[in-house]
């Protein structure tokens, strides 16, 4: 059995499949509040956490004959792209991966910097300013 090191935030549901936790039912986006009801929200801290979560829950969905839906979020926020959230519906196992703790610099190049997925543009700007650099 695989072990997932990331924190899994279980989202309780009623018999009708509606979530009890109101803070997970709606997630804000740049276009307003969206009804969002994933089965799980996973707080990932590393790239390995993300890969493990996708692998474990994809296999679980496949074994149950369900489609698998995953969506990355940061700070419990969908963003301005208006992508749909991972919605748990009949036949779909949906997982949201919160990457807000993934804010580290991975590597520096001569003209590039690679950062983890949860780093915001303002955090990136601060990192770059610390080296006398900026965004183009």
> Got the DSSP string for 13-73?
B-TTS-BS-HHHHEEEETTEEEE---SEEEE--SHHHHHHHHHHHHHHHHHTT-EEEEEEE
How sure is the predictor about 10, in pLDDT bands with cuts at 50, 70 and 90? very low
* Top-confidence residue, 101 or 17: 101
Q: What are the structural domains, with CATH classification, of the chain?
A: 7-98 (3.30.43), 104-136 (no CATH)
Task: Reply yes or no on whether the pLDDT at 33 is more than 60.
Answer: no
Task: Reply yes or no on whether the pLDDT at 40 is more than 70.
Answer: yes
How sure is the predictor about 75, in pLDDT bands with cuts at 50, 70 and 90? low
How sure is the predictor about 74, in pLDDT bands with cuts at 50, 70 and 90? low
CA distance 101 to 68: 24
Q: What is the mean pLDDT of residues 44-50?
A: 87
Task: Reply yes or no on whether the pLDDT at 126 is more than 90.
Answer: yes
* Top-confidence residue, 122 or 42: 122
């Amino acid at each position: 059995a695989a072990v997932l090191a990331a924190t899994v935030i279980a989202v309780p549901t009623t018999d009708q499949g509606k979530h009890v936790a109101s803070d997970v039912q709606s997630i804000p986006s740049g276009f307003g509040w969206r009804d969002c009801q994933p089965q799980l929200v996973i707080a990932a801290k590393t790239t390995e956490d993300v890969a493990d979560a996708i692998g474990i829950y994809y296999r679980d969905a496949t074994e149950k004959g369900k489609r698998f839906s995953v969506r990355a979020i940061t700070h419990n926020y969908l963003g301005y792209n208006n992508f749909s959230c991972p919605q748990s519906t009949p036949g779909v196992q949906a997982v949201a991966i919160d990457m807000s703790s993934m804010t580290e610099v991975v590597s520096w190049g001569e003209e590039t910097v690679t950062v983890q997925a949860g780093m915001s543009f303002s955090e990136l700007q601060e990192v770059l300013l610390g080296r006398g650099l900026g965004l183009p």
